[in-house]
Amino acid sequence: MPVSPIDAFTGWGAAALFGAAIASALVNRWRLSAGLSFSMGWFRAHNWLGAVAAVAGIAHCLSSVTRSTLPALEEIGVWAGAGAVGLLVLTAFAGSGLSGARRDARPRIRRNHVATMFAVLAVGIVHTALNGPLASR
């Protein structure tokens, strides 16, 4: 089944924004490990990139859903993609709750945020492998 330009744009856009959000968070980690101060600019970039990645993921999910029957592996890939979008939204919600959380609750929320981020990566890779441009058609 051919992929429409909007499907490709929203899917790869979500992936790129998600990667950029991860990179912007790592900049602050590197800054702190180098003895520099925490940068609110990189933190705000992380928040905005993550939020826009979640919106792009939802747009990709909604734009690419069809009612046609797919081969089994492609169907699994579609469900993996839908799962990745759900996890992306969950990690965005967990991250958004960090700023207003009590200090003693932050480590647990941060762990959940990071663990969910890794889950998005894993499930997104499965989706891309089964439905992406290199998947056998």
Q: What is the pLDDT of residues 109-127, one digit of tens each?
A: 999 999 999 999 999 999 9
Check residues 67 and 63 and name the one with the higher pLDDT: 63
Average pLDDT over residues 40-66: 92
pLDDT digits (tens, 9 = 90+) for 15-28: 999 999 999 999 99
pLDDT at residue 132 in the model: 85
> What is the reported pLDDT for 91?
93
CA dist 27 → 15, 21, 32, 101 (Å): 19, 10, 9, 22
How far, in Å, CA of 137 to CA of 126, rounded? Answer: 16
Residue 65 and residue 96: Cα distance in Å, rounded? 28
d(CA 122, CA 88): 12
Strands (E), the chain: none
pTM over 0.95: no
Is pLDDT at 3 greater than 80 in this prediction? no
CA 75 from centroid of its chain's CA atoms: 20
- Per DSSP, helices labelled H in 34-71 are 40-64
Q: How far is CA 118 from CA 53, 70, 111, 137, in A?
A: 15, 28, 11, 28
* Chain-centroid distance, C-alpha 16: 9
The domain limits of the chain are: 5-131
Answer whether residue 73 shows pLDDT above 80.
yes
With a cut of 80, say whether residue 77 has pLDDT above it.
Answer: yes
> What distance in Å separates the CA atoms of residue 109 and residue 102, rounded to the nearest whole number?
10
Q: Which residues contact 45 (CB under 8 A, 6 or more apart)?
A: 20, 21, 24
Q: Does pLDDT of 137 surpass 70?
A: no
